[in-house]
Structure 1
Amino acid sequence: GGSGVNEGDNVDCTSLFLSDVYDTHDQACKAAKEIAMSNSFSLIVASVKRNVGEGNPRIDMDCNHGSRSNSYTSDPAKTTRSKSTTGKLGCHFRVVVQSVKIDGKWKWRIHGIKSRGFHSHRLEVYSEGSRQKNALSHVEKMNIKELEATHIQAKDIRSLLNMKYDAHHNMTQIYNETAKIRRERLGGLKPMRWTLIEAQRLG
């Protein structure tokens, strides 16, 4: 069974990119690429815009199937899907790695662009084996839930988890799990009863 994300142009992928803060643009770009890869697409750096006037530096990251020569429509129903699975398909999906000043220090955030949140092609489907090889255990998921409730950033949750369990989880796994936890809290998904009982037991 595949994920709905693999339906390509019918899914708004901007929600995959959360607003964690990174110390460097390299960290932010790497995290964006990891998130994309685990959701069956790839990102490449399309442009780097340094400090111009009052604007903050930013890095535009596009789907690797993009092409600037194609005119763009924000309506996913009007995008043209190519039969080819490689090369430039005219996909206009984009995320931005943006510099922001927080407490007097420059940091970096990743954010999606709603009007450019759709892919115009089917996404690559990676084998289930490669996805499950380093899967989060139930205990690790419970730990993530506890840490997320205290507003610890995803990159710090990852460090704590990997240190505690001698694991090698990537940022994407942490992002996906924290996003699921937030959806459950908002009522988008109903968590299983034992999960609620366990969460209450652990405080």
Structure 2
Amino acid sequence: TLNIIALEFRNYYVIHYNLTGLNYKYCNILQVSLENFGGDGIDYSFVFDTKKWFYSDEDAINDAKSTTLLNGFDLIISKHTKGGRVKILKCKRGEHYKGKNVYINKVVSRRTKKKACGCQFEIKVKQVAETTSWMIHTSQDEKKGFHNHSFVVYPEGHRQVSGIIQSTKKIIRDMTVAQTKPEHILVAVKEKNLGDHANRRHIYNYREKLRRESFVGRDVTTQLLHLTTSSSYIVYINVDLDTNALTHIFMAYSDLVSLFQTYYWYVGIDSTYKTNMY
């Protein structure tokens, strides 16, 4: 069960209910000593499907991450062992907390984006012996099933938990091609995908990702020349032979050149080194 809505203490056990209130799962309450930053003392190993076989390690890792995101925390790949046959995934907040204060009621808020607090939660993705399949394994160490911090309640502002869904990405991609401004794209996303938690930063980041992907390994200058030639521009460049650096570039649209060749009278706009709207 992924959504915990009730807890009852009976004979040192915790009953985990799902949204229907019908199915539940027992787990022992373990006395684990961790630095407390708002943890609830619950072993979350039970949320993973440890009996399912996956075709690849990537499928198993994605399934584990999807499960954790539904519960309000995130996993990262910590390391690979045994020749890559074992992948260790840890809580994203697992880095040791470097502050002097330990107790949550005494911690002074620091001006930093780091959220590490020494969480020891850990699972493993292992290749099944003599097969190409993979499985998720929870840790036998009692400390590695608990979180010592609170989870995400509101996904807004948490990039890994909120993110943007595929339909939102398609909207951003199509409207970016149509030269739509980011603020208008955000309005369209909120109208069509009410369940998504996209904000303006998501729009900017994904637009930048699309722009970088269009480079296909080219640098900025090479990308500029690629766009001009693919759009039928007439291009002349000068290169310093000693430094191999681009010194001058001239470009003009082919239809415009044809107009100038037909009509000899034209208006010239003097341009300087300053960047302007022309």
Query: TM-score, structure 2 length as denominator?
Result: 0.36
In terms of fraction of residues, the more helix-rich structure is 1
- Which is bigger in relative contact order (C-alpha 8 A, separation at least 6)? 1
Query: TM-score, structure 1 length as denominator?
Result: 0.48
Tell which structure's C-alpha radius of gyration is larger: 2
